[in-house]
Amino acid sequence: MRPPMPDHRPDRLPLWRHIALFRRDILSAQPARLYRARMAEVKLPFLHSVMVNTPELVRLVLQERPADFPKSARVREGLRPLLGDSIFITNGAVWARQRRMIDPAFEGGRTRESFPAMWAAAEAMAARLAPGEIEVEAAMSHVTADVIFRTLFSVPIEEATAAEVYRAFRAHQRANPILNPAALVPMPPWVPRLFPRKTRATAARIRALITRMVDARMAEIAAGTAPDDLATKIMTTTDPETGARFSTEEMVDQVAIFFLAGHETSASALAWTLWLVAAHPDWQARLRDEAAVLCGSIGGVSPDFSVLRAMPLIRDTFREALRLYPPVPMMVREAAGPECFRGRDLGAGAQVIVSPWHMGRNERIWDDPHDFRPERWQDPATTACARAGFLPFSAGPRVCPGAGFAMAEAVLILARILCAWEVQPLPGAVPQPVAQLTVRARDGIRVVLSRR
């Protein structure tokens, strides 16, 4: 069965219909021709935007001249109440400094050190699962949030403040989708952009809770009793250029984005992977054989990090899901000065959209781009396709620092599920992708679990 796609809009549409569709779901607001088009342009009196759809233009924007295409102010403003000045939305020297402080926490060996905490979260998830129908987006959101708390602050999600942060984030997202599609929509400047009072209140509540965790950790670091986890690593890293550490306020900004970027994205990709695995039982049987290397550790201490290397097909399945359903479907940048793309002039301030969704399914790059074919990742020819069109973690200096972490966590969680459960599709429940905070399914992703 071909994996579900959005219902694409017709090529020609009145502007008001386009805007209405866009506000509802940025994926179905795009015409199917964008899987082949090299560029798409929207030019209105109050907005000029282009979607760049060739490997050359994407490389130019993300890798060759990133400073000329900073994060878009439109998107930044929408995220500021919750994320403050976190690394996800800053630009220029502020961003560069934050990146210097954060990168060491994700360097090679660090993910290995976080592995036992990931295993503990996977075991806790296993204890929550029960036979029967299950909505996997919620289940995956729970376990990936647990991974973040355990690796960042050495506490499980059941710990009182962690549980409250998790609940508050969910409430906030329901009221105010973080990747608010409206932020990308052509809005005339006279449309008020004030945040509803409720949004500001829930954001302030989340930040107050995170401040409590950061304050406690600051005190533990000062007393020499802090655990050796990601929070301690980030909070004790000094900027090699200035010698300064993050202040409490700055660290709250970073924790907010780690929590958000680090769990919603992984949850979305894991949920889609499970649905794809459910819909392909023969492939699932092969993955289950592979997961056997992990089954001996169930109920015991964490296996060694090297166990991941023994599960290449599970890793490739996750990659294929990331290609088909990249959790961050589109990224928005802004031209800092005048540009000319494919003969079209862009003025300063024009919005430049890079779409992992369209590049991952680009018909000029991939064979059978809309099909689930995880075995393609074993083919050496895929390396070139991936270089040209596989962007779930972005590319260039702003590439996701958590990519290695996310891959390790995903393979572990998938293998842990496959050790114990057979995953089947729920008859008639084909998930319909829509872009909310991340790429989600309109009515959730439901599968049936039965014990092996």
Provide the binding-site residues for ligand HEM, judged by CB under 6 A.
87-88, 99, 257-258, 261-262, 265-266, 269, 327-328, 331, 392-394, 398, 400-402, 405-406
Report, in Å, the least distance between residue 325 CB and ligand HEM.
10
Q: Name the helix (H) or strand (E) containing 152.
A: helix 136-153
Q: Quick count: other Cβ atoms within 10 Å of Cβ 23?
A: 15
Describe the strand order of the beta sheet including 132-135 as a list of residue ranges. 132-135, 446-451, 421-425
The set of residues, in sequence order, having a beta carbon less than 8 Å from that of 68 and lying 6+ positions away, is: 335, 336, 337, 339
| 372 vs 393, beta carbon nearer ligand HEM | 393
Q: Are 420 and 452 in contact (CB under 8 A)?
A: yes
| 255 vs 279, beta carbon nearer ligand HEM | 255
| 21 vs 102, beta carbon nearer ligand HEM | 102
| 4 vs 262, beta carbon nearer ligand HEM | 262
* Packing angle of the helix pair 403-420, 136-153 (nearest 10 deg): 130
Report, in Å, the least distance between residue 410 CB and ligand HEM.
7
| 255 vs 278, beta carbon nearer ligand HEM | 255
| 117 vs 279, beta carbon nearer ligand HEM | 117
Report, in Å, the least distance between residue 248 CB and ligand HEM.
18
- Provide the strand spans (E) within 102-239: 132-135
Report, in Å, the least distance between residue 295 CB and ligand HEM.
24
The set of residues, in sequence order, having a beta carbon less than 8 Å from that of 281 and lying 6+ positions away, is: 424
Q: Are 206 and 168 in contact (CB under 8 A)?
A: yes
Report, in Å, the least distance between residue 334 CB and ligand HEM.
12
Give dist(CA 28, CA 17) in Å, integer.
12
Q: Can you read off the two tokens belonging to residue 37?
A: 């088009």
Measured between its terminal Cα atoms, the distance across the chain in Å is: 24
Handedness of CA 169, 71, 393, 404 (dihedral sign): negative
| 63 vs 199, beta carbon nearer ligand HEM | 63
Closest among 414, 413, 360 to 389, alpha carbons compared = 360
Report, in Å, the least distance between residue 400 CB and ligand HEM.
3
| 257 vs 308, beta carbon nearer ligand HEM | 257
Report, in Å, the least distance between residue 361 CB and ligand HEM.
16
CA dihedral 8, 13, 15, 19 (to 10 degrees): -20
> Among all residues, whose Cβ is closest to ligand HEM?
402
Give dist(CA 307, CA 310) in Å, integer.
5
Report, in Å, the least distance between residue 94 CB and ligand HEM.
11
Strand 351-354, strand 47-52: pairing = parallel
| 18 vs 72, beta carbon nearer ligand HEM | 72
| 58 vs 261, beta carbon nearer ligand HEM | 261
* Packing angle of the helix pair 312-324, 248-279 (nearest 10 deg): 100
Give dist(CA 178, CA 206) in Å, integer.
14
Report, in Å, the least distance between residue 23 CB and ligand HEM.
20
Report, in Å, the least distance between residue 198 CB and ligand HEM.
26
